[in-house]
Structure 1
């Protein structure tokens, strides 16, 4: 089971954007990590907290530009990012973050571990539902 939370940092930006105080920075990247799970059990995700400002264990150089987005419903934005065969091999991925254009973490999602090897491409979708 996956768990996701919008961070307080991004909620503050959304509140300011809603009243015209500041523009809302777009989501531009996805970051990948190996934290966000029960100790010693990468298949039991732990819900992230809204006060987080980073992944629990972001993999160095793991930030990838998003491939794009779609709108499966009028109030849902789906953000997509692909890890190609040479990307992040040898890791068991258990958390992702959506990163905004300011470099801040907007959303954190934890999930059961997905092993990444050089024979596998993985496509990650995250739905932002309003």
Structure 2
């Protein structure tokens, strides 16, 4: 019991209906990012496989993608709203995402708020197969 103290329980989508999984992911999104919810809703509406989790910190890359697939494929999705427009933020995003891709082995997909949603969803559909 002592070893369990401080451990983190992670919920997975196993056993959830698609609607329940969608609602769970919505609850995990960043409350300050409407664009994350737009992207997730578009995934749901298009019938794409939903991510396994949202806002999962990946310590090996020192970053927290907006959505993550871990079952079968390793995909990290970043929903880039206007806060990602500054040059400093773009530089840090590149470092974080390169670490995630080249150090940890994730496929990284960035979906931008400036017209990138449809293209991003097409890329995701292609990666998921």
Same fold, TM-score > 0.5, yes or no: no
Which protein has greater RCO, CA pairs closer than 8 Å, 6+ apart?
A: 1
Shorter-chain TM-score bucket reads under 0.3
TM-score (norm: length of structure 1)? 0.27
Q: Which has the higher helix share?
A: 2
TM-score (norm: length of structure 2)? 0.27
Q: Which has the higher strand share?
A: 1
